[in-house]
Chains A and B, each alone.
Chain A
Amino acid sequence: MAVSPQAVALGLLPGMTLADARARVPDLTAIDMDRPADSAWLERMADFCNRYTPLVALDGTDGVILDITGCAHLFGGEVALRNDMHERCTKAGMEMVSAIAATPDTARALARFGGGAIVETGQEPGAVDALPVGAIGMSNETALALNRAGLVTIGDLTARPRAPLAARFGANIITNLSRALGEEDIAITPRRPLPPCTVERRFAEPIGREDDVLATIEHLIEEAAKRLEKSGQGGTSFEASLFRTDGAVRRLTVETSLPTRKAAPLMRLFRERIDTLADPLDPGFGYDLLRLSVHASAPFTQAQTSLDSHDMEDEEVAALIDTLSTRLGKQAVQRFVSAQTHIPERAAYQVHAKEYPSKQTTQSLDMPDLHWARPNADDPPSRPIHLFEHPQRIEALAQIPDGPPRQFRWRRVLHEVARAEGPERIAPEWWRTDDASLTRDYYRLEDSQGRRFWVFREGLYAEETQHPGWFVHGLFA
């Protein structure tokens, strides 16, 4: 039995039987408990809490846990966030108790048993010491047994050696204890991983054939597309979850470069994904639930047939990137981005090809990362076409202190230098404190066979080192 504040004033307690209560207060108004309505309300509460953070989990039938890491400052700090929440709940006619702590278990113990508080990191033991042992989450029997043993508060528990406690009452209470004390953190399982759109289909009879699964996914995509259309969005990341009757869940994810609502290209990607699975789909006794979640979406404008065919070309290239990324993995399909540094191996890096648009957009948007310095028209290339990730050590014969090599041995082959240019000095970046590298003097060399190399001497002779090493770093065309 749950009771109202007025009833508490009359001496009634939650958990009493209705008969007992009626005996004390004869003109009591009793309403049947409506659990579905309660849980629906809690869901709405949880939805409401999404205002504060996307990570909301339900706690039992009457609580919600919010992960507000990194969110509090948006509301002016933890205190302000809590006040705001209280204010809104009071307006809605609710009473609530809340606590903020570094770990969900500490906060839960304080909210349910300690009347609510805000605990700074590191203060957890002091904050929860006075709470009853039941606060750390255990069955009533265990709590009773602990009480009988004279352990009434959490402080009593922490004062004891833990091994005997675990031996007698189970390892669970030790885990729960350390969580409540803030020694161990667990991530809450959010109620939903926030896909903007999820559609699912349940089956009375499980399905097992791959064709059926694919056909269902196609239906789901169409359904999801309708929803996305309402919000003017197109999905870029789709996940199909296949729930097997025996509990196993298989997830297939496909991603697209451009937002889409079309089923056909997505189905091609899903087929591609199924084809490239390391272990093929095993339907077992069949799937009884298929769910399609759209994890990422972006504004999507209905494609117009434009006069120029650029859009269609962009789409074709995007489709190619999607297909190859699905087949080979995202790390296999890349685009170059330039970095603001003179250190050759850091001067460029690669990102997945879809991260950057390719054509007209790059000219209109100001993307310095995509601007590459063109060399002077009259100069031959000053940078090699192939670069070794790790410079390769060579034995070089060169004039000191800073002449180019006259000959060098690389991969056991002796190269006689016929032409040389340099040095081009590239100093280490002094502002990177972790970088202990030396100054490099780069030379462009051409050997007697006509092969062109980019070699450098590491360290200034007599200033930085007595025995500078030589390395080949790249190859020119």
Chain B
Amino acid sequence: MTPSVTQLQRQLEALTPSNHTYRERGQLALGVPAIDEQLKGGLPLAHLHEAYAAEVSDMAASSGFAAALAQRLTAQKHPKENRPVVWIRQTMSESEMGRLYPHGLCAIGLDPARLITVHVHKPIHLLSAGLEAVRCASLGAVLIEAWGDPKELDLTATRRLALAAEQSGITPLLLRAATQEQPSTAFTRWQVRSAPSRALDANAPGYPTFDLTLLRNKAGTHGRSWRVEWHHDLGQFRSIEDQFDIARQGKQASYKPHLGEQVRDESLPGKPVSGAVVPFSARQPAAAAERRTGTG
């Protein structure tokens, strides 16, 4: 693609009515100032957005990102109601990377009681079901998860989704995995990659952590990456660099040293070294219990 074509596209995009009024239907802030600034306020509602799993093994991360967005979306748009969320998946994604686990979704903050899952075999059904769902204005969010690069999922198909979204006011999220970037009419496109979490006490894995890359942004520049954590209790993304530490400090004012502290400081390095591993007693699962008493 030559620069001149890109410029022409920009001009065209600037001429389309949706671009002038993209903020009219409201925006969904992610809660991370740096990202929201880049998006000029947040993800515009009633527009199609895309999230690519960086690799197949990042599909759990992209699912988590999608669930978090869906949670924020319904919480912001319809805070009083428990609006249903429709998640359409291909059976291929299920067999490759597992089924959605409601207890895990609940732990992320997405209430499974309001989730309607749709399983389809063929990509064409994925799109027709997705279109049907996006047209239903009573939903809280619609997640469409495609596997690979089906030929049906082309520019026209995404255009249809985008138009339906504009009409109904639903903000669909198209999840893609096992494919390279494909042309689409999405307003923003994200790449989601799992990132090392900030360890909790006793070197336990921390909150869901993602590396988000903004691959496309109709409202401004793109190409930047952020490492964010998802806090289900706050219903917010937090940038690892700044926000989190401040929030954490407040909580740790009442922190008392205890046994778990010692275990973490002295005996459990980031990577276990032969012979220096503290055995977790099965009768007394130290890490889990202590962390709860410590910070809870």
Q: Say yes or no for A313: interface residue by CB 8 A criterion.
A: yes
- Chain B residues lying within 8 Å of A450, measured Cβ to Cβ, are 193-197, 209, 211
Check B282 against A336 for contact (C-beta < 8 Å): no
Interface membership of B14, Cβ < 8 A: no
A384 to B65, CA, bound (A): 13
Residue interface bits B85-100, CB-to-A below 8 A is 1, else 0: 0100000000001111
Smallest beta-carbon distance B49→chain A, Å: 18
Report how many residues on chain A are interfacial, defined by Cβ distance under 8 Å. Answer: 81
B84 with A358: CB separation less than 8 A: yes
Nearest chain B CB to A339 CB, angstrom units: 10
Q: How far is the CA of A112 from the CA of B111 in the complex (A)?
A: 63
Interface residues of B in 57-82 (CB under 8 A from A): 57-61, 63-65, 67-68, 81-82
The interface residues of chain A lying within 8 Å CB-to-CB of B111 are: 372
By beta carbon, the residue of chain B nearest A354 is: B116
Instruction: Give B249 Cβ to nearest chain A Cβ, in Å.
Output: 14
Q: Chain A nearest CB: distance from B88 CB in Å?
A: 9
**Contact, CB under 8 Å: A451 / B58:** yes
Identify the stretch in B1-9, B22-30, B32-40, B128-136 within 8 Å (CB) of chain A at 4 or more residues.
B128-136
Contact string against A for B residues 215-252, beta-carbon threshold 8 Å, 1 for contact and 0 otherwise: 00000000000000010110000000000000000010
Interface: B102 (CB within 8 A): yes
Chain B 173-206 interface mask (CB, 8 Å, partner A; 1/0): 0000000000000000000011111011011111
A254 CB to closest chain B CB, in angstroms? 16
| B138 touching A387, Cβ below 8 Å | no
Does A418 lie within 8 Å of B271, measured CB to CB?
A: yes
Cβ–Cβ contact A327 & B271, under 8 A: no
Quote the shortest CB–CB distance from B181 to chain A (angstroms): 21
Alpha-carbon gap, A370 to B197, bound state (A): 31
Contact (Cβ within 8 A) A423 B194: no
Q: In whole angstroms, what is the CA distance A373 to B67 when docked?
A: 17
Name which residue of chain B comes closest to A441, CB basis.
B282
A66 to B205: give the CA distance in the assembly, Å: 65
CB-based nearest A residue for B229: A380
What is the minimal beta-carbon distance from B92 to any residue of chain A, in angstroms? 14
B59 contacts which chain A residues (CB < 8 A)? Answer: 386, 475
Closest to A377 in B: B233
- The reply on A449 being an interface residue by CB < 8 A is yes
Shortest Cβ distance from A35 into chain B, in angstroms? 55
A323 in contact (CB, < 8 A): yes
User: B194 near A452 (CB under 8 angstroms)?
Assistant: yes
Per the 8 Å Cβ criterion, residues 333-377 of A in contact with B are: 333-336, 338, 344, 347-348, 350, 353, 358-360, 362-363, 370-377
> Do A403 and B277 touch across chains, with their CB atoms under 8 A apart?
yes
Q: Of A50-58, A297-305, A314-322, which stretch is located at the interface? A: A314-322
Which one of B146-154, B157-165, B285-293 is at the interface?
Answer: B285-293
Give the interface size bracket for B toward A.
35 or more
- Chain B min CB distance to A473 (Å): 9
Of B59, B60, B104, B111, most buried by chain A (CB within 10 Å of CB) is B104
A422, B285: Cα distance in complex, Å: 6
Select B60's contact among A333, A383, A385, beta carbons within 8 Å: A385
CB distance B106 to A372 under 8 Å?
A: yes
**Set B105, B270, B280: member contacting A385, Cβ < 8 A:** B105
- Chain A residues with CB under 8 Å of B210's CB are 477
Are A376 and B282 closer than 8 Å at their CB atoms? no
B10 beta carbon closer than 8 Å to chain A: no
- Is there an interface contact between A388 and B98, defined as CB atoms closer than 8 Å? yes
Please judge, given known A-B contacts A328-B129, A338-B102, A446-B196, whether A381 and B232 are in contact too, CB under 8 Å. Answer: yes
Partner of A381, one of B61, B104, B115, B129: B104
Majority-rule SS of A interface residues: mixed
Q: Is B253 an interface residue (CB 8 A)?
A: no
Min CB distance, B84 to chain A, in Å? 5
Say if the beta carbon of A224 comes within 8 Å of chain B: no
Partner of B106, one of A316, A374, A389, A417: A374
A431-462 contacts to B (CB < 8 Å): 441, 444-446, 448-452, 460
A338 to B200, CA, bound (A): 29
Contact B197 A336 (CB under 8 A): no
**CB of A87 within 8 Å of the partner chain:** no
Residues of A within 8 A of B208 (CB): 380-381, 452, 476-477
Q: How far is the CA of A246 from the CA of B118 in the complex (A)?
A: 39
Q: Looking at A332, A413, A419, A460, which has the most chain B CB atoms within 10 Å of its CB?
A: A419
Contact B60 A476 (CB under 8 A): yes
Q: Give the CA-CA distance A260 to B208 in the complex, in Å.
A: 44
Q: A65 to chain B: closest CB distance in Å?
A: 43
B272 part of interface (Cβ distance < 8 Å)? yes
Contacting A328 at CB < 8 Å: which of B61, B120, B292? Answer: B120
CB–CB A421/B202 < 8 A: yes
CB pair A332–B205 under 8 Å, yes or no, is no
Q: Once the chains bind, are B108 and A474 in contact (CB under 8 Å)?
A: no
Task: Tell me which residues across on chain A come within 8 A of B132, comparing CB atoms.
Answer: 320, 323-324
Known: A328-B118, A383-B103, A385-B101. 4 other contacts (CB 8 A): A338-B102, A420-B203, A423-B282, A446-B196
Nearest 5 A/B pairs, CB to CB = A477-B64, A381-B107, A421-B204, A386-B98, A475-B60
| B binding-site residues for A, Cβ under 8 Å | 57-61, 63-65, 67-68, 81-84, 86, 97-108, 111-120, 125, 128-129, 132-133, 136-139, 193-197, 199-200, 202-211, 230, 232-233, 251, 270-272, 277, 279-282, 285, 287-288, 291-292, 295-296
CB-defined A-B contacts under 8 Å, sample of 26: A310-B81, A319-B136, A320-B86, A332-B118, A344-B103, A359-B82, A362-B113, A363-B82, A372-B112, A378-B295, A383-B101, A385-B67, A386-B97, A387-B104, A401-B282, A413-B57, A416-B271, A419-B203, A419-B270, A420-B204, A421-B288, A423-B282, A444-B205, A476-B60, A476-B208, A477-B61
